[in-house]
Structure 1
């Protein structure tokens, strides 16, 4: 019962924040969105693309790999569009960049973004992902709760974005418009501006697979390696076995250890499964810090 009440309280607080906030882009930041980048037209062929900017640009690229997320397009602090994806934001953005003939939502967004860019205006990209530790594991009984899906209706009702379905004589959610044929597309956007495969390691550490690490998949890099990693609550990718594997997306926790050393314990079930498939209890796993937001676990 306790975890159900916790989930209800988290959702109620989010919805309260939505309906009490001001009707501008600052309100998105208040409820957990990040301003991650902007749309642009390429200099060579004027194709629509996006760039991630700011100090956390690389980490925000990891954010775009999260599933069940929300995105918003903003111009001059005015919210133009809010959309949800069951897949990744990267996948959704590929549709905006290169829409298929029957994808009306993608065509409309593509054209409207282009119109503003051709006038020399900016269109910023905001993203809300449920990878925060207090959102990832919300459940009702044994069922996971999709926070992004729950917020989409409330956000569109609150902000009434002009690009959301106005060609259908009313504001509707992207979910209502989304064509079924997109669901089969791959999750990986090979044209993403983010380098997904880091080139070199900066520090190494060893994980001895005691009971907790082996069964839960937690990672404690230690004090030395932690100096090379990002800040508390930054996103991090864990590559399993090689740098070309599909990474596990987690969070950096610098509050769990009194020394401030990093602990990784969010979304670690895939890591535990990988440990159990490749190692025995009490084995040692070698790890490499590739950069502040990437760790590679190796077989050797």
Structure 2
């Protein structure tokens, strides 16, 4: 046990010194899944939470394929593993259920220097660049029938289909009129219903660029001009919920604040933290209106 602990700490120390990112994904509802990064499957067996470390790229095209093949695959282009200032760390995403099905949502970020070893219930994978092959599931069925035959008889049959994707093994045992058949079937999962979560051509705005944007909005004299410029800046960038809250605070009128908050939600880098914009409003009724709008989107 001590050797395993020392080895784990050693590997973790090497990871810290390499300045690479870690991607952690967990299923909020406990649905087991496989992670595909840049078309390469990372885990041999389906898991409900996983940490993939030693990530050196800035982003990865990501797919989540569920062990339950009735759940549509999630696909997310350009999943970022650096922050707005190009710094590395641990990026945690959660798989959650919405009115529109399963979604992969940003959950948290921990700077590189503050990363801790993952909990014992999290599967840790060093980034795998070598394909693991197709995902396969195995099922077994046993059937017992009664007949009037006498004597013992054993038959073994093996069959492989033309595409080598299904393998069946049948064993028949006939003893004194009773026949038991056990069949093992291996099936390759080929997902046919893919959900594109978002093609992330949208990256969180850097601190310097955002500071300049705030100054530009402040310099506008009229509320309508501020709103127009704020929308223009937001449409061309992804903003964090905290940044959106700062922009909302620049407007003099509550209706302008609400209009911008509704518009900006679609461009929010971390919509699960959109509650942070509530402090920018003067009236509780405005918060209720915003929440109703977000609920209507089904996100």
TM-score, reference length from structure 2: 0.24
Greater per-residue strand proportion: 2
TM-score, reference length from structure 1: 0.24
Q: Which has the larger radius of gyration?
A: 2
Greater per-residue helix proportion: 1
Specify which structure has the bigger relative contact order, considering alpha-carbon pairs within 8 angstroms and separated by 6 or more residues. Answer: 1
